[in-house]
Structure 1
Amino acid sequence: MESRAPVAYEREMFRLAHISDVHLGPLPDVSYRDLASKRVLGYVNWQRNRRRHMHDAVIDTIVADIKANAPDHLAVTGDLVNLALDGEIEMAKHWLETLGSPHDVSVVPGNHDAYVPGAFDKVCRSWAAWMSGDGVNTPVDRNAFPYLRVRGNVALIGVSTARATAPFMANGFFMEGQAERLGKILGDTAGQGLFRAIMIHHPPVRGAVPQHKRLFGIARFHKIIRRHGAELVLHGHSHLPSLFFIGGRGVRIPAVGVAAAGQAPGGKHPAAQYNLFDIDGEKGNWRIRLTRRGLTGPSIPPSDLQTLELGVEAAMAAS
C-alpha cells in the first residue's frame, strides 16, 4: 500500500511510538519446579526457536532508534517476557526503567506475561507504574483495566487480554466487565475531544492469528467500538506489521500490528520493527501518519520501511 499525497503536519503534533512482543532474554536459571507446568513447553520452544531468533542486541538497537526519533510517548503492547518466571518479571521491570519515565511509557500485558496462574498478579505488582491510569493510587489488578492516561490531546487507553491458558493455547480474553469500563472511558474522552488510542495485546480482528491464539470477545470489542468510536488501535501478538480497519457503519478505525521488537533478521517472521505515529488535528479531523521503521538485515541500522496516511480521509477511502 502506497502513501497518498503528503499531508502538512504541525510541529505541535503528538508523536507516539509502538513496540510489542519483546520476549526479553536470556532466560534466568530454571528449576525443575519451575517447569512443572505449561512452562516446560515454553522452555522447549525457547531452546529450539526463540533463543536463536530473539536477541537482546536487536531490542537495544530498536530502542536506541526510537529514542533518536524523540517520541512523546511509547506504547508497549505486551509479551515482555517468555515463561513469566519471577526473574524474568524483575528483569523486565529493570528494562522498562531504561525506556524512560513511567509517565512517558505505557504497557499492557500479553499472554506470555500471564503464562501460568499467578503470573499476571506478579506482573501487575512489578510493572504497576507503567500500567496505572492518571491519578490512580490503588494496586493494579485485573479490574484496573482498561486504564486511562491523557498526554496532550491524546487519550492512551490500556486494555488487558492476558490470562493463563492451557498448554498449546495462547488465547486472549475481553470480557463484559472490561467492555463496560472501556465504553465509559471512550465516551468520556470523546466528550473531551481527545484522540483515543487503544492499546491491546491480542488483535481484535477475526482471522488475524490462528484459532489457538485468537481473542475471545472480538464481537464484544467491536460492539463497543461501533457505539463509542476510537481513532486508533495498537496491538501485538502476531509478530507481523499488519493493518486492519475495524468499526463498520461508515467508520473505519485503523488497527495496527507490529513485528516483534526482538526478532533478528533471518527468522520466519519479519525482522524487528516499531511503529511511529505522528498525530495532528482535532476531533472530526484527525491526521495520522504511520511510519514503520525496522531492520532489513544483519548489521544494518533501522530505516524507514513504509509510510502511510491513516487519517479520516484515508480510512474512508479504504472502505
Structure 2
Amino acid sequence: MFRLAHISDVHLGPLPALTFLELFSKRITGFVNWHRNRRRHLFTNTLDIVLDDIERQNPDHLAITGDLVNLASSLEIAAVKRWLPEAGTPENVSVVPGNHDAYVRGAYEKSTRAWYPYMRGDAGPDEWQEDRHVFPYLRVRGQVAIIGCSTAVATPPFSASGYFGSQQAREAVNMLRAAGEAGLFRVVLIHHPPIRGATSFHKRMIGIRRFAATISTGGAELVLHGHTHLNTVNWLPGQTKPVPVVGIASASQGPGGHKPPAGYNLFSISGAPGNWTIERERYALTDDGLALTLAETTRL
C-alpha cells in the first residue's frame, strides 16, 4: 500500500515588507486584500499544526498543489525555499505552482528556479535550466506515478485564472500512457480545478476541455488540485471509469473564516492495474484551532 498526503494553498506568511516598486503592480490589489481579509484567517501556526499531524501519519509522499506564497515577492519566494525542507525532502515532496506563485510577470520563473528540486522530474536535469519548461514532470514512487502539471500564469489585476496549454497536454498524455503501460497508479497534480463551474469566471482554468481530453486519452486514477480553498470531490471521464478529482482547503486557513478550516487528505492506494483501491481520509482543524481530527472517510 502507498500512502499519499495532499495539501494546497499554503500562502506562507506573514507578508513581508514590500518596496514601493514591488507594490507598483498587480501586487497592490493583493496587498490590500491580504490586510483586509486573508491576514485575519491565514496563520503560519495553523500550517505548522497541519504539517505536524502529517508527520505523525508518516505518509510515503506529500503533494502540494500550489499557491505557496501570497504576492510572489523575492522575499516570499526565498522564505518558501527555506520552509520546504520542513515539509520534507525533494525525494518525498512534489510541488506544482499556483496563480499566486506567478502573481506578476517574472515571478513564475523565480519561484520555479527556487523550488526546482521539488518539481524536478525523474528524468530532469539536476539543476534548473534557463528557458527550459519544467511541466509536466513525471516522478515514480513505488507503485505510483506522479505527473505534475502547471496552470500558473501571470494575470491582470482582479484575475486569478490559469492556463493549461496544448504542448503540456501532449506531453502529459505521453507520460500518462507510459505510466499506465508500466502498471502504475497515476496521480495528476494541478492547481486550478479542472471542473467547469468550480470557480467564478475570473478564477477559472482556461483549457478545461483540453485537460479533460488529456485524462480520458492518457488515462489516470486520481487528480488533485487546490485554488478553491474547499473540500471537494468531482469526477472526470476516464478511459474505463470516472476519475476522482479532489480538492482540499487551504493549509493555512484558521477557524472562523468563510472558507473551511485547514486540513489535508490522506490517500491509501492499493491493488493492481484495473483493480485499484483508493481510501481517502480527510483531516480538518478543530474549532479551537489547536489540532486536527478525522472529518471524513470515503472510498473513491
- TM above 0.5, one fold? yes
Give, in whole Å, the separation in 2 of the partners of 1:147 and 1:208. Answer: 25
Give, in whole Å, the separation in 1 of the partners of 2:265 and 2:112. Answer: 25
Give, in whole Å, the separation in 1 of the partners of 2:136 and 2:239. Answer: 25
- Matching residue of 2:167: 177
Give, in whole Å, the separation in 1 of the partners of 2:295 and 2:54. Answer: 14
Give the drift of 1:173: 0.2
Q: State whether structure 2 residue 103 is matched by structure 1 residue 106.
A: no
CA-to-aligned-CA distance 1:64-90 (integer Å, 9 cap, x gap)? 000000000000000000000000000
RMSD: 1.1
The aligned runs of 1:65-214 (5 Å cut-off) are 65-137=53-125, 139=128, 143-214=133-204
Give, in whole Å, the separation in 2 of the partners of 1:184 and 1:156. Answer: 13
Give, in whole Å, the separation in 2 of the partners of 1:250 and 1:189. Answer: 16
Q: State whether structure 2 residue 279 is matched by structure 1 residue 289.
A: yes
In structure 2, stretches of 5+ residues that fail to align are none
The answer on whether the counterparts of 2:119 and 2:148 sit within 8 Å (CA) in structure 1 is yes
- Matching residue of 2:299: 309
In structure 1, stretches of 5+ residues that fail to align are 1-12, 311-319
Q: State whether structure 2 residue 254 is matched by structure 1 residue 261.
A: no
Task: Tell me: CA distance 1:298–1:208, structure 2 relative to 1, closer, same or farther (3 Å).
Answer: same
Task: Tell me: CA distance 1:248–1:186, structure 2 relative to 1, closer, same or farther (3 Å).
Answer: closer
Give the drift of 1:300: 3.9
The answer on whether the counterparts of 2:179 and 2:186 sit within 8 Å (CA) in structure 1 is yes
Q: TM-score, normalised to structure 2's length?
A: 0.97
| Paired AA for residue 59 in structure 2 | P
Give the drift of 1:294: 1.2
Give the drift of 1:301: 1.4
- Matching residue of 1:45: 33
Give the drift of 1:183: 0.5
- Matching residue of 2:227: 237
The answer on whether the counterparts of 2:172 and 2:218 sit within 8 Å (CA) in structure 1 is no
Give the drift of 1:227: 1.2
| Paired AA for residue 211 in structure 1 | F
Task: Tell me: CA distance 1:94–1:196, structure 2 relative to 1, closer, same or farther (3 Å).
Answer: same
| Paired AA for residue 128 in structure 2 | P
The aligned runs of 1:48-67 (5 Å cut-off) are 48-67=36-55
Instruction: Report the identity percentage.
Output: 53
- Matching residue of 1:298: 288
Q: TM-score, normalised to structure 1's length?
A: 0.92
